Each structure stands twice: as C-alpha cells, then as structure tokens.
Amino acid sequence: MKKSINGYRNSSIAFQIIASIIAFLLYRLSSVFLEKSYASSKFPVSYFEAQTSFDALKLKSWYQFLIDNDTFRIYINTQFIDFIFIFTVILMGFSIWTLLANLHKKDSFFNKKGYIMAFSLPFAAFFDVLENLISFYMLSEPKEFINEIVYIYSSFATIKFGFWGIALLWLLVSIVALIFNRLRQLVTPIDAHKV
C-alpha cells in the first residue's frame, strides 16, 4: 500500500491530472445515481438530517414512512449504491488532493501537509462504511432496533461530515495559497529588475 501511494505521489503531473479527472467524473456519476435512488425512496428528510439526528424515534418514524409508501426496498438498495459512491470518494479525494499537493513547491508546507490531507476524504469514506454497516442493522429491524445504536450511527456520520469539511476547507486554502505563490513568483522578478 505504501509503495503504491508513493508511486502515485511521484508519478507525472500529467498522469495525476488525467487520473483526477477520471476519478472526479466517476464520483459525479455515482453521485447522480445515489441522489436519484435516494429521491426515488421518498425519504422524508435529507441525508444529512437523517444521519446526524441522534434520534432513534425519528429514524423509526422515517423508516415507517418508507414502509407505508412501499419504498423501503428502494432505500435499502440506495445503501448498496452508496458503497459505490464511497469507493469513488476515496479515488477522487486521494487523487485530486495529492495532485494539488504536488502543484506546490516540493517539501513546502502545503506540499507536505497536502500529502496528509489527501487522506481526509478516504477517512470520511471509512466512517461512511462504518455508518452504513450500522444502518444495515437498523434497517433489518426498522421498528425494533435498539435505540442506543443511533448514537453510534450518528457519531460515525458526524465524523464523516467532519472529514469532508476538513478536506474542502484545505482544498480552498491550498488553492488560494497556490495562486498567491504563483503570482508572487511572477511579480518578484519584475521587482528585482527594477531595483
């Protein structure tokens, strides 16, 4: 695994750009299918609200809503589609964030930290998997699952969204820093020539 990671980090920028584009397109495609399936299930609230509710009674009422509307099976299938989405999140997160790190000067702060931050979305995906595993238990007993299990379920979801937030914030900061450094490189020679 470490060898593969280092191999990708040391691959050409052109290769990383192509890999990042493909990974992003796969991510978007899986996202479309996931959102379409979720909408078809007619789940009464958003993913975010459901997953971070920390409320067993609400979840049971939402599951009952699906059962009453005969869309419970569609929602279960959506969970399987989510695993495909999770896989694309790992690919996209690692490829794009690593590419961005490599666009910075080698061994610079944003280059070194960027390699670390490239694991933010894969970590989010890991907790998404844990969340889904708990979800399958609750879906197997939609009316009778142990209420306390929802705290674990929502905790995994909250951590997942936390890693998403960290990843996106770093993406923004790193891009701004990259633009600033490139502009500074363009301006510095001009100023030096004037002196």
Q: What is the pLDDT of residue 190?
A: 54
Which residues touch 75 (CB under 8 Å, ≥6 apart)?
Answer: 38, 41, 43, 66, 139
Residue of 91, 94, 70, 77 lying closest to 34 (CA atoms): 77
- Model confidence at 194, pLDDT cuts 50, 70, 90, reads very low
Q: 145: buried, middle or exposed (CB in 10 Å: 19+, 13-18, 0-12)?
A: buried
Q: What is the share, in percent, of the chain residues with pLDDT greater than 70? A: 96
- 184 versus 36: which is more confidently predicted? 36
Query: What average pLDDT score do residues 2-9 get?
Result: 91
pLDDT in tens, 71-91: 999 999 999 999 999 999 999
Is 115 within 8 Å of 98 (Cβ atoms)?
yes
- Model confidence at 15, pLDDT cuts 50, 70, 90, reads very high
Average pLDDT, the chain: 95
Q: 160: buried, middle or exposed (CB in 10 Å: 19+, 13-18, 0-12)?
A: buried
Q: Given a cut of 70, is residue 61 above it in pLDDT?
A: yes
Q: What is the pLDDT of residue 26?
A: 98
SS3 118: coil
pLDDT in tens, 132-189: 999 999 999 999 999 999 999 999 999 999 999 999 999 999 999 999 998 988 887 6
DSSP state of 105: P
Residue 23 has φ and ψ, to the nearest 5°, of -60, -40
Q: What is the pTM of this model?
A: 0.90
